[in-house]
């Protein structure tokens, strides 16, 4: 398990772009499970949508990418530095199954599918309880600035 202090060591993101609150389990080289507590105080809710607040799908995918990044660094046995950045290379088969609303707790799951020449491919899912909210295949890489 990782608390927010340790998560901050593995991700360069900070409020309002830090979208992982806790890591429940991490099996380096295989899989990770984390959570994002969705609060009405999130800055995006004031504009998306004022009459019916819904977490933007792109931010759900970003949260999945962030847990995937933690898994990558844990697998490699190192932490990111100020000379590199973790980028999306591709997002395939993204599907959104249910809206994510204030008060929901997103369970973020990512599994390493493969790693070739510095490109990581993950199968990722976001759930609310047992209900699938979103899923996608993500490709990411670390590049020097």
- In the three-class reduction of DSSP (H, G, I as helix; E, B as strand; rest coil), residue 39 is classed as coil
Instruction: Indicate the DSSP class of residue 62.
Output: H
Among 13, 48, 51, 52, the one annotated catalytic? 48
Cβ-proximal residues to 25 (8 Å cutoff; 6+ apart), any chain: 1, 31, 32, 33
Residue 45 token pair: 């809710």
Question: Residue 89 is inside which H or E element, if any?
Answer: strand 84-96
What is the C-alpha radius of gyration for the chain, rounded to an integer number of angstroms? 15
Reply yes or no on whether 51 is catalytic: no
Cβ-proximal residues to 49 (8 Å cutoff; 6+ apart), any chain: none
For the annotated catalytic residues, the residue numbers are 48
């Amino acid at each position: 398990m990782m608390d927010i202090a340790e998560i901050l060591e593995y991700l360069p993101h900070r409020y309002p772009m830090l979208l992982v609150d806790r890591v429940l389990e991490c099996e380096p080289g295989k899989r990770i499970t984390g959570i994002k507590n969705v609060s009405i105080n999130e800055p995006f809710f004031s504009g998306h949508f004022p009459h019916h607040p819904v977490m933007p799908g792109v931010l759900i995918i970003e949260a999945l990418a962030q847990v995937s990044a933690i898994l990558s660094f844990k697998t490699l046995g190192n932490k990111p530095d100020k000379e590199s950045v973790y980028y999306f290379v591709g997002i395939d088969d993204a599907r959104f199954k249910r809206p994510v609303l204030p008060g929901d707790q997103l369970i973020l799951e990512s599994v390493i599918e493969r790693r070739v020449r510095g490109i990581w491919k993950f199968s990722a899912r976001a759930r609310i309880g047992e209900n699938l909210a979103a899923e996608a295949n993500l490709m990411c890489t670390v590049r020097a600035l």
